[in-house]
Chain A
Amino acid sequence: MKMLAVFEKGARLRHIGHLDLMRAMQRALRRSSLPIRYSQGFNPHILMSFAAPLSLGAVGLREVMEISLEREVPAEEFSGRLSRALPPDIRLLSCRPVADTHKPPMALLRAARYRIEPRGECPLTQGDLDAFLKKESIPAVKKTKSGEKEIDIKPMIHELTLKDGNIFCTLDLCEEKSCKPDLMFACLCSSAGIPPTEALVVRLLLLSEKDGVFLPLEDA
């Protein structure tokens, strides 16, 4: 069986990279004494996978991962044991068992919702956001492994609001197309004619899609 787990990667750990987070999770699983499953082969590793790496510097409030287990473990037991084994700034929020045939979270991922918190006073107004969204297209330069690529991020923005000085947005995040929140924010600032602003990115929720409607990935 597999366990689908939702966890928070706290603010203190926002500079911990994805590989380091994976290793921390592996060690927590080892400490938990849960019947984790290992891969076959010369260098066996723990079978687990994350929905999506979190950018360095970002906080994740409801991150999703799955963990393969050798045998059935009730969700309460799993949650109790893993919670005790996790460092204080990684909090397990919920978990539920799924069948081995359940698609891995990475395959179900479609988008994510973010809160962008500009440092200091928010330089943007509702008018800036409205003007930004009214554009026909929003060209942006995306850095990829093979170099820089110009893309249009307009169709990747599904929500963009301003509340209490923070920006809330839902952006595409899957293998075919994804738009990073800092890229969108940079475009927004440039469109509003203000200098690039430092901001803290908080990933609020990972989303899947069913019948053209977004739903939390953890429930998919």
Chain B
Amino acid sequence: MNSAQEEILERLLEKVQKPARYTGGEMNTAVKSIGECDVSFAFCFPDTYDIAMSHLGMKILYHIINKQPWAVCERVCAPWPDMGDAMRREGLPLFSLESRTPIREFDLVGFTLMYEMSYSNILEMLDLGGIPIYARDRSESDPLVVAGGPCAFNPEPLAYFIDAYMIGDGEDVMVQLCQTVRESKAAHRTREETLRALAGIPGVYVPRFYDVSYNDDGTVRSVTPNDPCAPEKVRRCVVTDLEHAEYPETIPVPFTDIVFDRITLEIMRGCTRGCRFCQAGMIYRPVRERSMERLLEIADHLESSTGYEEISLSSLSSGDYTCLPELIRALMDRYREKRVSVSLPSMRIDNIVKQSLEETSKVKKSGLTLAPEAGTQRMRDVINKGVTEEDLIRAVTDAFDSGWSSVKLYFMLGLPTETDEDLRGIGDLAQKVVGAYFSIPKPRRAPGLRITCSASVFVPKPFTPFQWVAQDSPEIIREKQEHLREYLRIKGVTFNWHESGLSFLEACISRGDRRIGDVIYTAWKNGCRFDGWNEYFRYDTWLEAFDACGLDPAFYACRTRPFSETLPWDVIDAGVTKEFLMREWEKALRTETTRDCRKGCNGCGLQRWKGACPAYENARGV
């Protein structure tokens, strides 16, 4: 940023909300000089600073890129609309937090795709950065725009805007990608040649090297390579040795309040449970644990380099970690003197060890969140949640007995095969949780019972057994929400629900094809951004955008897709095979559960990749 721009920025900061979101300078942020590095990477998070700085993936990749002596990574967040408007008005380009360098001056601009409803912000950030929005309009002097993260598993909705995707675990492929760009720069390759080189990296998908054709009924006929550099299928990256994978030893410590202001310790990746609605449970397979020794080593580094007062254990299902009570005890012993507390999100109901509850509560009592997901056993079997009512009641009884009085329960609404009885079941379950609280003698329980029931709307996601199912229409969802509200009129219970329009659009985009790109563009052009924030969500504008592009949102969200249909994301090999997902869907319809794959291989597809799944190899004695 030149001095005139600095001056504009200083002036804007006086007027916008939360100016500290834009000023950087936090502890442990990179101080590398862009000019002295061969490759520069602008890590863009398409949401506010407070959310971005809570995201673990960004911290890992920030660390990994900056660890390369020849590369530099700086952070960029989406400016809140007041700042975005002011920047546009004043001609101030979107800049990085560290050195305030305009993003178009970086070699690579990378977006992390955490949720579909942040896509309009990606266009907003490109536009604020002065980078042509459509990849086809970019010139040799523009940065390469790349993306990764869970939503990249269906790369098609953003295929017009992203030059190259990284699919799967980012630790290794990120370095390869930067290295290839470094070589390309040294060799003065053109943009096209560089993208060809990138397409040759396993796990990289370059949309322009694939052609999409459609059937008369609007479904996708094929996604096929149009260049020899592009593989037929892009195989997702898997870090097989999580133990030795890079993990940050220092992380930025923000000055302002952020959502998760603490150390996040990723104890394992992947989940063996096989919940059928859960995309993360499918695309992060297999389960990989870090050893206790390694975790303590990481925790030591992070504790001493950040000064944080809380360590949070993170994974998809922390209760499944092999030696959880030992780990918690070791962490608590280690940091008691320093007054660091340990918190435990993502616990499953069936394995909340009473001991873990007691251990974590010694320092600080945080809220307890449990996710039964559905109200009846039948429904939980359909989604293969594998927890029972007894599990839940035992877990909350233990919690109430250990001094908790506030519990959050998460449910999903609109699951496949759901009936009114399943909704009533949610009410019954909440009632039983209330009963569990009153079963504890008054002197023993903490006063002030507070049960919060949240019901999100089920969104079918790619690479899950439910990827073919129709989502309930917004009208049906609203009806179901009304019913559920009746069933949850219970003293001590609060009911929260989600905007149905938002979930509907999420369903359209998450299983969308390339044509959805024009809808996203049109919606953004007509003012949509920060769609995930109630105050900025403009449902009608989105529907108008579909209309303007001649597309029917219900075609994407509310249509049952036959097994024979080519899915837009078929070009990605996520590890789990279509055959496995079909099998799981059929079992769901028969209300049949599938065992935890630690108890035996279910043949999800990972076994095809040599060395990828330790559980499978162990079972076979390989």
Least CB separation from A16: chain B residue: B255
Please give, as numbers and ranges, the residues of chain A lying within 8 Å of B13 by CB-CB distance: 15
B19 contacts partner chain A, Cβ-Cβ < 8 Å: yes
Least CB separation from A31: chain B residue: B307
Shortest Cβ distance from B54 into chain A, in angstroms? 16
Cα distance A15–B49 in the bound complex, in angstroms: 15
Shortest Cβ distance from B396 into chain A, in angstroms? 25
Cα distance A21–B306 in the bound complex, in angstroms: 15
Choose one: A20, A30, A44, A85; the contact of B255 (CB below 8 Å). Answer: A20
Task: Mark out the residues of chain B between 80 and 138 whose CB falls within 8 Å of any chain A CB in the assembled complex.
Answer: none
A71 contacts partner chain B, Cβ-Cβ < 8 Å: no
User: Are B11's CB and A119's CB within 8 A?
Assistant: yes
Cα distance A171–B307 in the bound complex, in angstroms: 36
Please give, as numbers and ranges, the residues of chain A lying within 8 Å of B31 by CB-CB distance: 88
Contact with A along B286-319 (1 / 0, CB 8 A): 0000000000000000001111110000000000
User: Are A12's CB and B23's CB within 8 A?
Assistant: yes
User: Are A12's CB and B25's CB within 8 A?
Assistant: yes
Please give, as numbers and ranges, the residues of chain B lying within 8 Å of A157 by CB-CB distance: none
A12-B23, A15-B19, A15-B20 known; A29+B307 contact, CB < 8 A: yes
User: Are A85's CB and B20's CB within 8 A?
Assistant: no
Please give, as numbers and ranges, the residues of chain B lying within 8 Å of A10 by CB-CB distance: 25
Cα distance A168–B312 in the bound complex, in angstroms: 49
User: Are B306's CB and A20's CB within 8 A?
Assistant: no
User: Are B23's CB and A28's CB within 8 A?
Assistant: no
Dominant secondary structure at the B interface: loop
Contact with B along A10-54 (1 / 0, CB 8 A): 101101110011011011111101000010000010000000000
Please give, as numbers and ranges, the residues of chain B lying within 8 Å of A21 by CB-CB distance: 255
A209 contacts partner chain B, Cβ-Cβ < 8 Å: no
User: Are A27's CB and B339's CB within 8 A?
Assistant: no
Cα distance A8–B307 in the bound complex, in angstroms: 20
A152 contacts partner chain B, Cβ-Cβ < 8 Å: no
A16-B20, A20-B20, A20-B257 known; A28+B11 contact, CB < 8 A: no
Shortest Cβ distance from B590 into chain A, in angstroms? 53
User: Are B27's CB and A28's CB within 8 A?
Assistant: yes
A198 contacts partner chain B, Cβ-Cβ < 8 Å: yes
Contact with B along A51-91 (1 / 0, CB 8 A): 00000010000000000000000000000000001111100
User: Are A13's CB and B307's CB within 8 A?
Assistant: no
Number of interface residues of A (CB under 8 A): 27
Shortest Cβ distance from A15 into chain B, in angstroms? 4
Cα distance A134–B290 in the bound complex, in angstroms: 74
Cα distance A89–B20 in the bound complex, in angstroms: 13
A15-B13, A38-B339, A119-B11 known; A31+B304 contact, CB < 8 A: yes
Shortest Cβ distance from B335 into chain A, in angstroms? 11
B417 contacts partner chain A, Cβ-Cβ < 8 Å: no
B140 contacts partner chain A, Cβ-Cβ < 8 Å: no
User: Are A30's CB and B307's CB within 8 A?
Assistant: yes
User: Are B304's CB and A57's CB within 8 A?
Assistant: no
B608 contacts partner chain A, Cβ-Cβ < 8 Å: no
Shortest Cβ distance from A120 into chain B, in angstroms? 10
Cα distance A30–B310 in the bound complex, in angstroms: 12
Please give, as numbers and ranges, the residues of chain A lying within 8 Å of B334 by CB-CB distance: none
Choose one: B19, B25, B304, B307; the contact of A28 (CB below 8 Å). Answer: B307
B253 contacts partner chain A, Cβ-Cβ < 8 Å: yes
User: Are A88's CB and B25's CB within 8 A?
Assistant: yes
B24 contacts partner chain A, Cβ-Cβ < 8 Å: yes
User: Are A30's CB and B25's CB within 8 A?
Assistant: no
Least CB separation from A12: chain B residue: B25
Cα distance A86–B305 in the bound complex, in angstroms: 11
Please give, as numbers and ranges, the residues of chain A lying within 8 Å of B475 by CB-CB distance: none
Least CB separation from A57: chain B residue: B14
User: Are B23's CB and A15's CB within 8 A?
Assistant: yes
Cα distance A87–B25 in the bound complex, in angstroms: 7
Cα distance A21–B11 in the bound complex, in angstroms: 22
Cα distance A56–B298 in the bound complex, in angstroms: 36
Cα distance A127–B13 in the bound complex, in angstroms: 32
Task: Mark out the residues of chain A between 75 and 112 whose CB falls within 8 Å of any chain B CB in the assembled complex.
Answer: 85-89
B256 contacts partner chain A, Cβ-Cβ < 8 Å: yes
Task: Mark out the residues of chain B between 324 and 367 whose CB falls within 8 Å of any chain A CB in the assembled complex.
Answer: 338-339
Please give, as numbers and ranges, the residues of chain B lying within 8 Å of A33 by CB-CB distance: 304
User: Are B308's CB and A27's CB within 8 A?
Assistant: yes
User: Are B25's CB and A27's CB within 8 A?
Assistant: no
Choose one: A12, A30, A87, A198; the contact of B338 (CB below 8 Å). Answer: A30
B227 contacts partner chain A, Cβ-Cβ < 8 Å: no
Least CB separation from B22: chain A residue: A15
B26 contacts partner chain A, Cβ-Cβ < 8 Å: yes
Please give, as numbers and ranges, the residues of chain B lying within 8 Å of A57 by CB-CB distance: 14
Cα distance A16–B255 in the bound complex, in angstroms: 7
Shortest Cβ distance from A51 into chain B, in angstroms? 20
User: Are B307's CB and A27's CB within 8 A?
Assistant: yes
Please give, as numbers and ranges, the residues of chain A lying within 8 Å of B307 by CB-CB distance: 26-31, 85
Least CB separation from B339: chain A residue: A44
List 10 additional A-B contacts (Cβ < 8 Å) besides A15-B19, A17-B20, A85-B307: A12-B24, A12-B25, A16-B255, A16-B256, A24-B255, A27-B27, A27-B307, A28-B27, A87-B26, A88-B25
* 22 pairs, A vs B, C-beta closer than 8 Å: A12-B23, A12-B24, A13-B25, A15-B19, A15-B20, A15-B23, A16-B23, A16-B255, A23-B255, A27-B27, A27-B253, A27-B306, A27-B307, A27-B308, A28-B307, A29-B307, A30-B308, A57-B14, A87-B253, A88-B31, A89-B25, A119-B11
